Amino acid sequence: MHEPPLPLEEAQARLLALVEPLPIERVDIDGALGRYLAEPLRARRTQPPAALSAMDGYAVAEDDFAGPWRVVGESAAGHPFAGSLARGEAVRISTGARLPANAACVIVQEDIARADDHISLSGEPPSPPHKHIRPCGLDFHMDEQVLPAGARLGPAQLALAISAGHRHLPVRRAPRVLVMDSGDELAADPENCREHQVPASNGAMLAAMARGLPCEVQRIGPVPDAMDALAEALAQADDADVIVTSGGASVGDHDLVKPALEAWGAELGFWRVAIKPGKPLIVATREKSGRRQIVLGLPGNPVSSHVTAYLFMLPLLRALLGAAHPLPQAFPVRLGAPLPANGGRRTFMRAIWDFDTVSPAAVQDSSALAALAASNVLIDRPANAPAAEAGAQAHVFWLENGGIA
């Protein structure tokens, strides 16, 4: 007997447990966008390296906040005042400029009256006196951890790394991904599709999803439903870290992906998950030259293929890249329309969230690409969930899907 379909979280955990870390490489900041840190990042400098002014105004000495003062110089960003301040003296200072020695207060220029080199207080002094001062180390100190291992490197993280004194960053090598769709019904050219065929859209869709991460993606297919054709296609996967197939993952007479993988030398891990759409899903591995290749056999229906790629392929690739949290995270929203009771499988409904409420797409068939393309979230419906009224809370997963944003 076959083992029953696995619950989603168990299947995801078993998949991620197969991940072996890819080698670490150091890349230039300009090539690090979207990567994940392989090691904690520590500051090589203190920021700011000295106390700086947060406003345009005048710097005065400690316990000298009433005035009047004589202006003895200027401190601009990148051009600090070289001397120190005595009582009764002030320095014109710009935002981001270094405070002179002995300075303890910056009075904003709007609260100052100036006549030649003499200034006096026309408003209120800042309270507390250091209100407009950025102290040394406000952002971080030398050797402080500024980013943990597994952090995703977005624009702000890259700026932080540069500010902390780094030009190159440690990341995992980009995974090599081979994407292949299979099926006799698939037409490679959508402009030349016969009546008994459908355009081969899954391969392009899955490759595009993988390319949303810093991966090296090769796409082949469509591959006919024939053992020799599948064997020839898999022979091109020797260098791949991940092989993603679409179609042929079920148990029909023409579903040949499992036997083709076994003939190729792969060992089946599991092949069914208790979700809808996407129940038939193959996870297999092959040991090759001292490293592990991971195979994901996704269903052929395009929505099933997309949903399982979202729940399994993308987390797998994030884990290989070194992400600390590779799984997608759901968030609560209010329903804008009622939902019927759910069946015995956990269901992911295509839906549109207008940033107030969420409503399911009218068509939920696993072949309906128009509904998928119009959706920007998946509603997560637990198995056997009762009917839900409009206004009730639901949990959704965000799709970076080209829908409304």
Asked, for residue 143, whether it belongs to a domain, the answer is no
Whether residues 261 and 348 share a domain: the answer is no
Residue after which a domain boundary falls, among 275, 296, 321: 321
| Domain count along the chain | 4
The strand pair at 186-187 and 198-199 is best described as parallel
Whether residues 114 and 240 share a domain: the answer is no
In angstroms, rounded to a whole number, what is the distance separating the alpha carbons of residues 141 and 46? Answer: 4
So what's the pLDDT on residue 404? Answer: 52
Asked, for residue 405, whether it belongs to a domain, the answer is no
Asked, for residue 3, whether it belongs to a domain, the answer is no
Model's pTM, two decimal places? Answer: 0.90
Whether residues 179 and 304 share a domain: the answer is yes
So what's the pLDDT on residue 250? Answer: 60
Whether residues 186 and 247 share a domain: the answer is yes
Asked, for residue 145, whether it belongs to a domain, the answer is no
So what's the pLDDT on residue 356? Answer: 96
Residue after which a domain boundary falls, among 274, 289, 321: 321
CATH code of residue 114? 2.170.190.11
Number of Cβ atoms within 10 Å of the Cβ of 362: 10
In angstroms, rounded to a whole number, what is the distance separating the alpha carbons of residues 53 and 97? Answer: 6
Amino acid letter, 360: P
Quick one: CA torsion of 7, 282, 37, 218, rounded to 10 degrees? -150
Whether residues 39 and 167 share a domain: the answer is yes
Whether residues 163 and 111 share a domain: the answer is no
CATH code of residue 32? 3.90.105.10
Token digits of residue 88: 């009764």
Whether residues 350 and 298 share a domain: the answer is no
The parent domain of residue 158 ranges over 24-45+150-172
Residue after which a domain boundary falls, among 261, 295, 321: 321
Beta bridge partners of 186: 198
CATH code of residue 344? 2.40.340.10
Asked, for residue 142, whether it belongs to a domain, the answer is no
Asked, for residue 34, whether it belongs to a domain, the answer is yes
Asked, for residue 316, whether it belongs to a domain, the answer is yes
Whether residues 191 and 268 share a domain: the answer is yes
The strand pair at 280-288 and 267-272 is best described as antiparallel
Do residues 281 and 316 lie in contact, with contact meaning Cβ atoms separated by under 8 Å? no
CATH code of residue 194? 3.40.980.10
Asked, for residue 297, whether it belongs to a domain, the answer is yes
Give the rounded distance of the alpha carbon of 128 from its chain centre: 41
In angstroms, rounded to a whole number, what is the distance separating the alpha carbons of residues 402 and 88? Answer: 62
Whether residues 345 and 303 share a domain: the answer is no
For the chain, 405 residues long, give each residue's pLDDT as a single digit of tens. 467 899 999 999 999 999 998 999 999 999 999 999 999 999 999 999 999 999 999 999 988 888 899 999 999 999 999 988 999 999 999 999 999 999 999 999 999 999 999 999 998 888 898 999 999 999 999 999 999 999 999 999 999 999 999 999 999 999 999 999 988 888 787 888 888 888 888 999 999 999 999 999 999 989 988 899 999 999 999 999 999 999 866 655 456 888 899 999 999 998 899 999 998 899 999 998 889 999 999 999 999 999 999 999 999 999 999 999 999 999 999 999 999 999 999 999 999 999 999 999 999 999 999 999 999 999 999 999 999 999 999 999 999 765 554
Whether residues 181 and 315 share a domain: the answer is yes
Q: Give 277-281's long-range contacts (Cβ < 8 A, gap of 24+).
A: 277/301, 277/303, 277/304, 277/307, 277/308, 277/348, 277/366, 278/304, 278/305, 278/307, 278/308, 278/311, 278/348, 279/5, 279/345, 280/249, 280/250, 280/251, 281/11, 281/249, 281/308, 281/312
Number of Cβ atoms within 10 Å of the Cβ of 321: 25
Whether residues 16 and 37 share a domain: the answer is no
Whether residues 180 and 262 share a domain: the answer is yes
